[in-house]
Structure 1
Amino acid sequence: MSIQNNIDRITDILRRDDGISGAMHYTEQISWILFLKFLNDYEDNKSDEAFLEGTDYNYVLRKDLRWHQWACPKDDTGKLDVKRALTGDDLIDFVNKTLFPYLQVFKNTTNDPKSLTYKIGAIFEYLDNRIASGHTLREVLDIIDSLDFQSSDELFELSQVYENLLKSMGSDGGNSGEFYTPRAIIKAMVETTDIKVGDTIYDGAVGSGGFLVEAFDFLTAGDKKEKLSAKDWETIQNDTFFGQEKTSLGYVMGMMNMILHGIESPNVYKGNTLTQNIRDFQEKDRHDVILANPPFGGKEKKQIQQNFPVESNATEILFMQHFMKMLKLEGRAAIVVPEGVLFQTNNAFTKVKQTLLENYNVHTIVSLPSGVFLPYSGVKTNILYFDRKGATNNIWYYDVTPPYKLTKNKPITYEHIAEFVHLFHNPKERNHTNTKLKDAVTSSSVERSCNDWTVNIKDIKDNDLSAKNPHKVVEVIHQSPKELLTAIKQNDTEINTLMNQIESLIDG
């Protein structure tokens, strides 16, 4: 049976459990169980390596709380030892009263995100077992026990299956969508930030880890991995991926997603990014590449706002300041922002954008279509690209225009953004003015749609960076004075009719 079929079986089993409600819950529960199975296989592998080297490996987990002791103990034939395997109320009591309390105290022992101890503590700090039936949990444990985390092929397949789980959770709506950014957008952002081995890559709102996973895949895909030296591989594993995630659910899913995709030691902390005072950041704390889709529409209390030169309760403006301060000299960033960040002109928004334009090079803005984040959010969004290589001069805009209205069941695809990626890497083919074009032609003499334009900083008024596509023709219906007068009289007649109806209802 394929891994996808096994995970489908697990989700079907969990849906029947009284403690599980929706995709967010069953993804969370699958995540912590998968993590403990991974941890067991990882530690067993380390123990085998140590044995071959003539040394001993010190297990992080206590012996009686390792997977093969409590989850799926085996008999002499290698089959489940039914005499020792807990089930029913005994299993639930063990997990809730012994296993979880043990794992949750790991948070008090280290602040090193590279250590297994930190990962365990951060994952289980605010996590609870939601599975109500011990018989349900026994079925799930037996299925996950069959997965082999030491097989690269199986690990790859499992990573794809887990990605689908996260996607289904994001499309489930509610708060769960904040953890998942459509892969098409992530892929386009990674492909346009010129990532190289040796760069540090940072996401201050990690969520399910999509940006870091895609960046890892970009650095290691195809024959790239074969060409990496041992030092390069160590750098990628230990000193490349950095981030922070506020929620426990996001953290466990992000860690699981990264581990399944092959990032064994991401430098990802559990915590609220905005609690850091950005005035304290030094060059050694900053990063070469920033990729993020931070939460927007939220509010932060006054104590948090004081960590920023421009105080605001809008999380999107606080995150913008954070990312600006976290960017190294010569570094580059691609950030998803709500459209309000571009056009709003209140005091905080204006000050932050003025600093951004004067101290950073905002070179590209991508206008994303409405519906990209449905059903989680219908807010119109943009991708804001900037680097720390001087002030802004010209901004190249690209308007992503799918051939149909995006919905939950008709999401954005990479094909909708492919032209942007091509033009990003081939600037000679772009439209270098903001004038209307009727027949834009690429160097290959193939007609393309007029989705891009360029604006000089001198033509931007009041720090309004909103994407106004000059090529989109707005049809204006010109009416004669007589036609206008007739329309006005018709409106007045309809208003009087409605008013009479309302009066009659009142009098009646």
Structure 2
Amino acid sequence: MLQNNPELKSKIDQLWNKFWSGGISNPITAIEQITYLLFMRRLDDLDAKCQANAEWAEQTYTSKFEGHWVPPEYRARREEKDTDADWKKKLEDEKKYQIEKQSLRWKEFKHMQGEKMLQHVQSKVFPFLKDLNGDESNFTHHMKNAVFIIPKPALLVEAVKTIDDIFTEIEKDSQKKGQTFQDIQGDVYEYLLSEIATAGKNGQFRTPRHIIKLLAELVQPQLGNKIADPACGSGGFLLGAYQYIVTQLAQATAKKNKIKLELEPDEDGFVRTSVAAALTENTRKILSASLWGYDIDSTMVRLGLMNLMMHGIDEPNIDYKDTLSKSYTQEAEYDIIMANPPFTGSIDKGDINQNLQLSTTKSELLFVENIYRLLKKGGTAGVIIPQGVLFGSGKAFKELRKILVERCNLKAVITLPSGVFKPYAGVSTAILLFTKVWGPQDKVNKPATENVWFYEMAADGYSLDDKRTKQKTPDGKDSWGDLQDIIEKYHARNTEKDAAKNSDRTAKYFSVPRSEIEAEGYDLSLSRYKEDVFEEVHYDAPSVILDRLIQAEVGEVEEKELAKVQSGIVRELLKLKGMVG
């Protein structure tokens, strides 16, 4: 998190202040414009690294900045009536508008003077980015209405310089922490949102990176899985799944080739690396086809697309769709779903997908049911929900929990402390982990859940106030809170080693049989099953306590002399002592 790097935080503050004073005061507009610049910078870096890796591996790589580019409006298009001479003339005319792609690189235009730079970026670089993947690409489609609205040359020059400083600091930070995988755009987006302390529309806000990593470790996505987030925002969960898979592949390859891969845990105890450029072409294609995201905010769709592209996914599958509406008809499509859907708000009853059976307009309930429907049989979901879903007494709440217990193998309920999503929201949340066993139309011969594992997270390694400051252990190291303990205990929950503790209802984690949950009306709140431990406390007799109070007033005085002490307080204490005996 950027809050834990003062230098990086300072650079982002500078950038934000420059946009504010430069006339772009709308937070989301500023974030989007900043993201375009981050994307330009990251694209140049990524392309250069891919070229270097290809040369080292003696492979072929075609740079995105190789050759010439012609803006779409000037491209020659041959019509049926065109003769060869006509077509030749069109091609010659097209050459007049060719732009050398090398001039569109960040490192080329960043040295330009203000007015020239602004004109160059507005008229050439930004249109090139919008057209990066060709006319038919999903990215080009969603970038069609994107506009570059930085109004002043001085603002662009300052922003370019500051972003260069940000990338330099990020590189230093990643090397220092032993981590080479950075969600650059996501981190900046998260920090800017925290600065303006807004949760966005309809309860949307970015999930902290360490919580995304936690979910990835719990659901363990694999290469070849079809992975989705039906309310993806800036694509954090998709990137988290991709990051997890890439790290697993790197470790497996190193082990196979007997290469020592030295990776240090990050500040939250997670090990991650990025070797996407060194993956085989086939692996890259599989990964690119694995990740699917949807959102109802066109700005978030663009941010998500650029976020994934900044990390080597050339053509992300992120689209503008309301996954709860009638127009979205997918079902039983995905192996893995990781999501933090909107917590608040209701949707138009008339537009709810008719396949959703819960009689409610509450989005937090409908999203969980929809995630269940979107999973293939055997598919697993990790979903963040408000804790009210666990114990709500309404009919729809109970029906949803019954679906999770009977039609799914509800593996775990992990409650999170209320400060995890500050400063955006202080709502208490929980993680649900479940695997789909029975489809919506299947007859349930036997409920799928045998036991539900509960864990009460007390700390996530950060302060639970608005500042979310990184906490330290007594020896001065970064605290991991309960993050790594949750992963270890979750994956060991069915082993004999943890069997005894899983039956201890006074511990921070334990298992509850389905029969007991059924008897409690499918209540899934941890407090319903946790047993409180009451420690017997012994207190001194009242007379002993009163003696201490008297001595505190007058010091060491023999009891026969106490009456001579002319103190109203002492007299009253003596009177009280006489009453209690």
TM-score, length of structure 1 as denominator length: 0.72
- For 1:218-242, what per-residue CA distance to the aligned partner results, in whole angstroms no more than 9, with x for missing partners? 1122534666973652344322111
Out of 482, 491, 498, the position equivalent to 1:416 is: 482
1:293 paired with 2:352, answer no
- How far did residue 207 of structure 1 move? 1.5
Q: Which moved more, 1:12-21 or 1:357-366?
A: 12-21
Q: Percent identity?
A: 25
Q: Aligned partners of 2:375 and 2:285: how far apart in 1? A: 20
Other-structure match for 2:251: 223
Out of 513, 526, 533, the position equivalent to 1:467 is: 526
Other-structure match for 2:198: 174
Question: Which has the higher Rg, Structure 1 or Structure 2?
Answer: 2
Change in Cα spacing, 1:334 to 1:410, as seen in structure 2 (3 Å) is same
Other-structure match for 2:78: none
Q: Aligned partners of 2:303 and 2:114: how far apart in 1? A: 33
Q: Aligned partners of 1:275 and 1:108: how far apart in 2? A: 30
**Residue identity in the other structure for 1:300:** I
Change in Cα spacing, 1:354 to 1:331, as seen in structure 2 (3 Å) is same
- How far did residue 157 of structure 1 move? 6.8
Q: Aligned partners of 2:319 and 2:107: how far apart in 1? A: 33
Q: Aligned partners of 2:345 and 2:114: how far apart in 1? A: 51
| Equivalences, count | 442
- How far did residue 339 of structure 1 move? 0.9
Change in Cα spacing, 1:416 to 1:58, as seen in structure 2 (3 Å) is same
Out of 498, 522, 533, the position equivalent to 1:430 is: 498
Alpha-carbon contact 1:70-1:85 (below 8 Å) kept: no
Alpha-carbon contact 1:245-1:251 (below 8 Å) kept: yes
Specify the SS of the correspondent of 1:252.
Answer: helix
**Residue identity in the other structure for 2:230:** G
Specify the SS of the correspondent of 2:481.
Answer: helix
Change in Cα spacing, 1:276 to 1:101, as seen in structure 2 (3 Å) is farther
Q: Aligned partners of 1:91 and 1:7: how far apart in 2? A: 25
Other-structure match for 1:506: none
Out of 239, 249, 254, the position equivalent to 2:289 is: 239
TM-score, length of structure 2 as denominator length: 0.64
After the TM superposition, which residues 352-371 of structure 1 pair with which residues of structure 2 at under 5 Å, given as runs?
Answer: 352-371=400-419
Other-structure match for 1:120: 140
- How far did residue 304 of structure 1 move? 2.4
- For 1:129-159, what per-residue CA distance to the aligned partner results, in whole angstroms no more than 9, with x for missing partners? 453434312433466689999xx99999794
The answer for unaligned runs of 5 or more in structure 1 is 439-449, 478-508
- How far did residue 329 of structure 1 move? 1.6
Change in Cα spacing, 1:141 to 1:182, as seen in structure 2 (3 Å) is closer
Alpha-carbon contact 1:43-1:59 (below 8 Å) kept: no
Change in Cα spacing, 1:430 to 1:3, as seen in structure 2 (3 Å) is same
Out of 170, 188, 212, the position equivalent to 1:165 is: 188
1:251 paired with 2:301, answer yes
**Residue identity in the other structure for 1:139:** E
Other-structure match for 2:35: 31
Alpha-carbon contact 2:231-2:341 (below 8 Å) kept: yes
Other-structure match for 2:546: none
Alpha-carbon contact 2:40-2:106 (below 8 Å) kept: no
Q: Aligned partners of 1:435 and 1:83: how far apart in 2? A: 68
The answer for unaligned runs of 5 or more in structure 2 is 1-6, 75-96, 257-277, 439-447, 471-478, 538-581
Change in Cα spacing, 1:312 to 1:108, as seen in structure 2 (3 Å) is farther
Out of 372, 382, 388, the position equivalent to 1:324 is: 372
Specify the SS of the correspondent of 1:319.
Answer: helix
Q: Aligned partners of 2:218 and 2:429: how far apart in 1? A: 18
Q: Aligned partners of 1:106 and 1:404: how far apart in 2? A: 39
**Residue identity in the other structure for 2:191:** S
Other-structure match for 1:396: 453
After the TM superposition, which residues 301-320 of structure 1 pair with which residues of structure 2 at under 5 Å, given as runs?
Answer: 301-307=348-354, 308-320=356-368
Q: Give the RMSD, CA atoms, in angstroms.
A: 4.4
Other-structure match for 1:281: 330
Alpha-carbon contact 1:287-1:327 (below 8 Å) kept: yes
**Residue identity in the other structure for 1:169:** L
Out of 432, 453, 458, the position equivalent to 1:384 is: 432
Q: Which moved more, 1:452-461 or 1:152-161?
A: 152-161
